[in-house]
Structure 1
Amino acid sequence: MTDLNDPRSWFVEPFFSALLDGVPDAAEVRARLERETEDLLDQTEDLVVDEAARSHVVLTAYAVAAYRWLDGRVPDPLETVRRVVVDQFGDWLADTVRAELDRAPDPFAAMVENVREQEKSFYGKGFAWERVTDNDRAYLGRAHRCVYHDASTRLGAPELTAAVWCEWDKPMLAAVDPDRHGLRAERPVTIGYGCDHCDFAFERTT
């Protein structure tokens, strides 16, 4: 099973493969970006409050290093980072969620149980969660802090929050089919888009 809290085991190779596809001096550029990533991690060390936060900060450092390198080299560096970080993993993330819901006797209960567990094991203490609604019909988890936003802002690229990290959730949420799974999944507001919190809402439709 893939350990999402170890991005170097699943993220780094596909990331560089997509980012440096067709770049003549790819090995040299990668070495440079790896060094810059380590420098960025030194600047965000205090945000690593647990192992889960470490994984998010590592992902952010790689994205910021790529963003800086792309600036002036491509017409839209922000879109390029979004593509190499989000697009290539979107189908995998969506397929994983869809498969779990398809085999669950009660998809809503399975989703909520997974979300509760992810708040602790995947998101960790780099996020500050509040369970606004938590009953048999609906669940609303509210994040008052996002370590992706904190790290991106610290490193001078707050625009990555909305363009990349908020996009990260979309394939997973889109995998939830109300007709098929009997629940609706929404993320109506996020910190990246200017709100002071992110909401993740799940509601039974049957």
Structure 2
Amino acid sequence: MNQEEQYSFSPLDSYQWIKKEAFAYIKAQQWIDEALFEDFLNAFEDYFKHSLQKTSHLIKNELDEGNVQFAVLVVALYEAFVKIGKDGKEAFKCVCLAINEPIAPFMEQNTEAFLTASEYPFKTIVEISKAREAFYFGKSFGFERLIDDDYGYVLQIKKCLFHEVLRALEHTFLQRIICQVDCGWIKGIKTALHNLHFARPTTFATGNTCQMWFIKEEKTEDIQ
């Protein structure tokens, strides 16, 4: 998969990719005794099916199908780990690693390459953000552009479908795992190379909203 394919992924594509990589990672880490692995898979399938039914009312369009299933994936993995005897803290850690570790390097490398190849990295990443707001996240998320000019783009996410799913399933404590997925592409922004600063001062894991700040940096003469 190249950079353009990454950004053309649908939510359902992403969910299927992350699920595949997560299970391969769990298997490779040997966190689960071979004798218990089938029990783990069965528990996952049961929790996933039940949780998806419980949150089906949140699916309003085609984009929601993949985004809801991704959030349900996180919950079902966590509950499956608990079912086979992991305590909550250990289950959280396992899910966080399984969801993020396999995909983070790819996202970082692709984002860096995409921005490095662009003549105007700031403009490029803002265009990507706006496109994904419409064609990846859609109307079940609530976006407000607090700043949108040639020097800065500040996006406030007032409603997050992932958070709505976790809230419906009473698993909002797993929000940090989902928010961490963004760290993959965030690390691909190299300030010195791309003349671009990024900050995320709050997320739904830390508050009641999420903000993403993209700030263009212009080179200036040193002031004596």
Aligned to 1:121: 135
1:205 counterpart = 2:198: no
Contact 2:44 2:79 in 1 (8 A): no
Q: How far, CA to CA, are the matches of 1:155 and 1:19 in structure 2?
A: 23
Q: How far, CA to CA, are the matches of 1:172 and 1:11 in structure 2?
A: 15
Q: 1:41–1:151: structure 2 CA closer, same or farther, 3 Å change rule?
A: same
RMSD of Structure 2 on Structure 1 (CA): 1.7
1:167 counterpart = 2:180: yes
Partner SS state of residue 199, structure 1: strand
Aligned to 1:5: 11
Q: How far, CA to CA, are the matches of 1:46 and 1:52 in structure 2?
A: 14
Contact 1:16 1:30 in 2 (8 A): no
Partner SS state of residue 86, structure 2: coil
1:124-149: CA deviation from partner (whole Å, max 9, x where unpaired): 22210001100000001110011111
1:14 counterpart = 2:21: yes
Partner SS state of residue 94, structure 2: helix
1:52 counterpart = 2:48: no
Displacement of 1:9 in angstroms is: 3.7
State the AA in 1 paired with 2:212. F
Q: How far, CA to CA, are the matches of 2:73 and 2:184 in structure 1?
A: 21
1:60-93: CA deviation from partner (whole Å, max 9, x where unpaired): 1111111112123255211111100112111111
Displacement of 1:4 in angstroms is: 3.8
Computing the radius of gyration from Cα coordinates, the structure with the larger value is 2
Partner SS state of residue 157, structure 2: strand
Aligned to 2:41: 30
Aligned to 1:181: 194
1:34-53: CA deviation from partner (whole Å, max 9, x where unpaired): 23212211110111122222
Partner SS state of residue 202, structure 1: strand
Q: How far, CA to CA, are the matches of 1:193 and 1:8 in structure 2?
A: 24
Number of residues paired by the alignment?
204
Aligned to 2:148: 134
Identity of aligned residues (%): 21
Partner SS state of residue 154, structure 2: strand
1:84 counterpart = 2:98: yes
List runs of 5+ in structure 1 lacking aligned partners. Answer: none
Displacement of 1:158 in angstroms is: 0.5
Give the structure-2-normalised TM-score.
0.85
Contact 2:143 2:156 in 1 (8 A): yes
Partner SS state of residue 49, structure 1: coil
Aligned to 2:109: 95
Give the structure-1-normalised TM-score.
0.92
Q: 1:8–1:171: structure 2 CA closer, same or farther, 3 Å change rule?
A: closer
Contact 2:15 2:67 in 1 (8 A): no
